[in-house]
Structure 1
Amino acid sequence: MRITREFVALTSAGTSRAGVGSHPCQGVYWRPAGSEPRTALIATHYNIDFSEHYLASYFAERDLGFLGWNTRFRGAEPYFLADLALVDIDAGVRWLRSRGVDCVVLLGNSGGGSLMATYQSQVTSPGLTPEYSRSSLSPAVEQLAGGDLYVSIVAHTGRAEVLTNWMDPSVTDESDPLSVDQALDPFAPDRQPPFDDAFIAVYRDAQRARNERITDWCCDELDRLAAAGHRERLFVVPRLWADLRMLDDAIDPSRRTVPGCYLGDPRRANYGIFGVGTVSSLRTWLSMWSLRSSQCSTDQARNITLPAIVVDADADTGIFPSDTAKIVEALRSRPGGGGVETHTLAGDHYLAEPARTRAEAADLITEWVRSHAS
């Protein structure tokens, strides 16, 4: 089947084109050549470019539209603010409606799962509030159009939860990436998996405590800057690849490679410079990464009344069975939410292996969408 790929570039509420001419929101619309589908999916992420998403062509081959959509924060993670991302997603949803799409499917993939859940939650039960030191949100976040179906596929529970579960709590000095509390060091030579329950509990508490310390510092720093007549600054968070599940397959058992993470060897990745949340502004930390104040979580799925399906992968090295269970629980706990289909595929996080996993995922979701599209 021939596929048409159409570049889409839009402004959204409160934005304009850059001086060089680029639009803040950009993406690619995939569809069968010569067709204007009445059902289309939209996928976006906090900062990753989804315009050429690995499932886009698969859905177009199955006679569905697919908008791989990017907000103004594509490639600009350190500046993310939730309300602005939601109004940018809305620009993509409204564009699909303008093309005659009757059924808009919100595809929440990877980090985009919690972002899409937050978007639809704001439609159903508006409750987004400004982060510390911000007086107001974009007015447009109170007028989101919303989708018709919700798909969660290999999705994280939320950026704050992910970062906290992955962060190394043995860091004693945020300005020194080599500082280590040996009692908490998961990579200490004399500490080998399987880890005992007592260490796991202490480790998890220390991870949450580290997140809270950084949140406290961000609030204090915003106050300090404001007193001097300034608004923001960037900062670095070291060592963020140390989830015990990356080292011990007895915790949340699955078919994943252990030791392993999305960057390969966790120890090497943990002391490297690549990863989520490594550079952030103060308000972005509060909006995206803070356990205390981030509102971007799949807990928001409790407010989603749309038909929903949850798909995960059994060899994912960054999303674990208990993570998916939390998403399913949130969806099943919603008032009047009805049943939630769940499926586990044999594959890695990107469904690249085994070879037919992406086609299997597309078949599964397409069949479900067609059975629920109005």
Structure 2
Amino acid sequence: MTEVVREFVGLPSPLIGRAGAGGHPCQGVYHRPAGAAPTTAFIATHYNIDFAEHYLASYLAERGYGFLGWNTRFRGAEAYFLLDHALAEIGVGVRWLRERAGVERVVLLGNSGGGSLMAAYQSQAVEPNVTPVAGMRPVPAIEDLPAGDLFVALAAHSGRPEVLTAWMDPSITDEADALSVDPALDPFDSGNGPPYSAEFQARYRAAQRARNERITDWVLGRLAALDGTRARDQLFNLHRTWADLRMIDPSIEPSDRRPNRCYQGDPLKANYGVFGIGSLCTLRTWLSMWSLRTSQCVAAPHLRRITVPSLVIHATADECVYDSDARAVHGALAAPDKRLELVKDDHYLRGSRPQVADLIDAWVRER
């Protein structure tokens, strides 16, 4: 086995200083093979999850690549996420690879939720389009981002607003009451399914979008109400976000996934639990990341600006990324050279990581 060297990388942000305790805002771990410095390296970043020790890092380093598992200051701080700020801090990592690590080719690895984030990065680098959220100043650091040379979407969702909306429980009748429910839309009421009728599915999907829009209306109203007060923003909770009908009913988009399963286990328990995407937000983070109306974290517009060679890998037993998501990502990419590969495994590729590393390695070497 090739020896893998791991180097901690802590770097300044163009937007915020070091923490009082000394930590740099931008942090990660650079994995590389011992010996000669690699000329091709991957960078992977997520909206919120710590990717410093990403599960593919060592596998790709063993195959001769560098791998920077990179975190912006929003790691573990999803409630405060701002897209333009995150893109500036991803740029810090890409520049480090080129200028300090001596890398000639950079592969942007968009894994899970990071798929739309890294797509937004490449999109902004080649055709600046990201604007600040309401009431925020422009970020000059995103106007000249170093672009990637290749793009890989791995078990990637189609965008934060779409994912949240598809997972939302639209039967909630009072956003302040996690137990409020409209029985006619309750996905866990056996009278509604599973299996769920086409009519119920259509009503349910429409109600999910309506819930997202109602929250956006409320957020915009609250921001207007705060204007001229001592506060510029506020926190709020979002309940019940583990209720995609596909999690419960395997007859909707059949695949190799386990039935009645989401990333937090049983959807009913998860939905009424305290761990969920978007569970804590600021008003501006809602607008930046989760709102169907205002968020620029929708993948498709960014994918349409990506023309570098692109690889999409879909795990067919993924509990919450579905075949339609992978095909939508692949279809939206503007790259003339693009490929879709299927792997029979779950979201975290627990049984196929060496094989997936081989697949990516072969694809990169072909280019």
TM-score bracket, normalised by the shorter chain, equals over 0.9
For residues 248-275 of structure 1, the C-alpha deviation after alignment (integer angstroms, 9 at most, x for no partner) is: 1111110111100001100000000002
Three-state SS of the structure 1 residue aligned to 2:304 is helix
Three-state SS of the structure 1 residue aligned to 2:185 is coil
| 1:107 aligned partner | 109
| 2:327 aligned partner | 325
| Distance (Å, rounded) in 2 between the aligned partners of 1:224 and 1:50 | 38
| Distance (Å, rounded) in 1 between the aligned partners of 2:213 and 2:174 | 14
Deviation at 1:193, TM superposition (A): 1.4
Unaligned runs of 5+ in 1: none
| Distance (Å, rounded) in 2 between the aligned partners of 1:264 and 1:185 | 19
For residues 292-331 of structure 1, the C-alpha deviation after alignment (integer angstroms, 9 at most, x for no partner) is: 1110122110001111010010100110011111101101
Deviation at 1:225, TM superposition (A): 1.2
Instruction: Tell me, yes or no, if the aligned pair for 1:9 and 1:27 is still in contact at 8 Å.
Output: yes
For these two proteins, the number of residue pairs brought into alignment is: 364
The TM-score normalised by the length of structure 1 is: 0.96
Aligned pairs for 1:51-62 (under 5 A) are 51-62=52-63
| 1:220 aligned partner | 221
Instruction: Tell me, yes or no, if the aligned pair for 1:133 and 1:222 is still in contact at 8 Å.
Output: no
Change (3 A) 1:124 1:174: same
Instruction: Tell me, yes or no, if the aligned pair for 2:81 and 2:288 is still in contact at 8 Å.
Output: yes
- 1:71 is matched by which residue type in structure 2? T
- 1:315 is matched by which residue type in structure 2? A
Matched, 1:18 2:26: no
Three-state SS of the structure 2 residue aligned to 1:7 is strand
Instruction: Tell me, yes or no, if the aligned pair for 1:132 and 1:219 is still in contact at 8 Å.
Output: no
- 2:149 is matched by which residue type in structure 1? D
| Distance (Å, rounded) in 2 between the aligned partners of 1:133 and 1:19 | 27
Deviation at 1:35, TM superposition (A): 2.5
The TM-score normalised by the length of structure 2 is: 0.98
Three-state SS of the structure 2 residue aligned to 1:183 is helix
| Distance (Å, rounded) in 2 between the aligned partners of 1:321 and 1:151 | 17
Instruction: Tell me, yes or no, if the aligned pair for 1:28 and 1:51 is still in contact at 8 Å.
Output: yes
Deviation at 1:339, TM superposition (A): 3.0
Matched, 1:361 2:356: yes
Three-state SS of the structure 1 residue aligned to 2:110 is strand
Instruction: Tell me, yes or no, if the aligned pair for 2:45 and 2:51 is still in contact at 8 Å.
Output: yes
| Distance (Å, rounded) in 1 between the aligned partners of 2:337 and 2:146 | 24
| 1:338 aligned partner | 336
For residues 38-84 of structure 1, the C-alpha deviation after alignment (integer angstroms, 9 at most, x for no partner) is: 00000000010000000000001101000000001000000000000
C-alpha RMSD of matched pairs (Å): 0.9
| Distance (Å, rounded) in 1 between the aligned partners of 2:209 and 2:7 | 44
Deviation at 1:130, TM superposition (A): 2.0
Unaligned runs of 5+ in 2: none
Instruction: Tell me, yes or no, if the aligned pair for 1:124 and 1:305 is still in contact at 8 Å.
Output: no
Instruction: Tell me, yes or no, if the aligned pair for 2:132 and 2:139 is still in contact at 8 Å.
Output: no
- Percent of residue pairs identical: 58
Instruction: Tell me, yes or no, if the aligned pair for 1:111 and 1:159 is still in contact at 8 Å.
Output: yes
| 1:260 aligned partner | 261
| Of 12-21 and 53-62, the range deviating more from structure 2 | 12-21
| Distance (Å, rounded) in 1 between the aligned partners of 2:3 and 2:135 | 51
| 1:167 aligned partner | 168
